[in-house]
Amino acid sequence: MAEENASPSFEAGLDELERVVRELEKGDLPLEQSLALFEAGMKLSADCKRQLEEAETRVEILMKKGSEPVAVPFTPEKPANR
């Protein structure tokens, strides 16, 4: 049962979140089902955000200048200085 509580991979979570959003955007669900989907979507969103923050932390740790590890914030718009 531990697998049921484990967060899905980032990609799987994002796919599921997109499915939830599409279902909610249709607007044809009963209120209780809409609330349940919204709650599930909020949990998926939080899981995806946490996974992104963990990945960003790992990138910062792995960035180095010389032989000393230095935390360098990851910015996807700019290539890292080497």
3-state secondary structure labels for all residues of 51-62: HHHHHHHHHHHH
Q: What is the pLDDT of residue 1?
A: 38
Set out the domains of the chain in order of their start, with CATH numbers.
2-69 (1.10.287)
Those residues with Cβ within 8 angstroms of residue 29's Cβ, 6 or more apart along the chain or in another chain: 23, 37
Q: What is the pLDDT along the chain (82 residues), one digit of tens a residue?
A: 344 456 779 999 999 999 999 999 999 999 999 999 999 999 999 999 999 999 888 877 777 555 666 666 766 665 445 4
Strands (E), 1-82: 64-65, 68-69
Token pair 């990609």 is found at 11
Q: What's the whole-model pTM score?
A: 0.66
Residue with tokens 């996807």: 76
